Structure 1
Amino acid sequence: MKVAMIATTWWLFTGLVFATASPDLQQRLQDLDTFIQNLMTCKSRPVVGLTVSVVKDGQTIFAKGYGQRDLQTGQAVDNRTLFGVGSISKSFTSALLAAILGEREDVSWDTVLTDILGPSFRFRDQFRTEEATLRDLLGHKTGLENLGFVIRMVENIDRSELARLVVVAS
């Protein structure tokens, strides 16, 4: 519950910082930095780290790490620390798909995956191959419950290997 509240507070504050009429971008970035530092002190147990990057007009104008990447060793987070993206990728994926669907008339939430990925894309069974849609994927209705575990066990896979794993897991 605290994490959700902190995340909501973070997004609301970030939106306010960059939507305000203040002409001084450096001051807004300083306010953001101060907010995050204060937020990192509001804890009832150790808080792991995070990184924040602000990109404006294709240029990184702010990048900083906060907290620790390892609570055991106390190793600090910097602006180049890599984190697993976890479930946040779902919101990026759905937002990207919504943007694409808004621009294209030939694809919808209900377009069958083989119409997008081509006839060589296959699930293990014919029904899923012929019927699965973008809506089904985002709603986790394809029955690929073990795929996340399989992907976490394999590092550095490319798209063709991911497609193969989808078929194996289905």
Structure 2
Amino acid sequence: MDILPVKVLLLGAIPEAILIIWAGLSLLGVRPSWRKLIFVGILQGLTAYFIRRYTGFGVHTLIQFVTIVTYMCVLIRVNLPTALIATLISYSVVIITEGCAYIFFDVNIAHILSDEWLRLLFFIPHNSILAIIGYVCTKKKISLQQEFTALSKIVK
């Protein structure tokens, strides 16, 4: 169990949720309104607060994956395959980026979780990459649908 400090919730978890949704959907050519993105990001951040508080470490990732996919389907109104693919792509970016940080900087996860500011620093690399992906895909109108024709049959 992990208690997510309010500072980390507001400055880390909520922006991360918004960026996960934006980058994943942008890569698939789906452009939801910012109002929906922010609403779902806040909802997912609050959900993450309670999930992390009442579940064990590691399990929280799976439950949060399910909740973000559910929110995307219900509130942003994308189909299930689109929500799954978008979330998988974004989670992959987060996992790879965090993994590299742990490897290259030889940090102790218990130390990170105990220090709010250090914890917030660990959001910066993957949130930056997600923001760049979302921005470039939106600005340049790039999507994976253009590259993979099979996606155009799935993404709606």
Do they fold alike, i.e. is TM over 0.5?
no
**Given the two structures, how large is their TM-score scaled by the length of structure 1?**
0.28
Q: Which has the higher strand share?
A: 1
TM-score by length of 2: 0.30
Structure with the larger RCO, 1 or 2 (CA within 8 Å, 6+ apart): 2
Which structure has the greater CA radius of gyration? 1
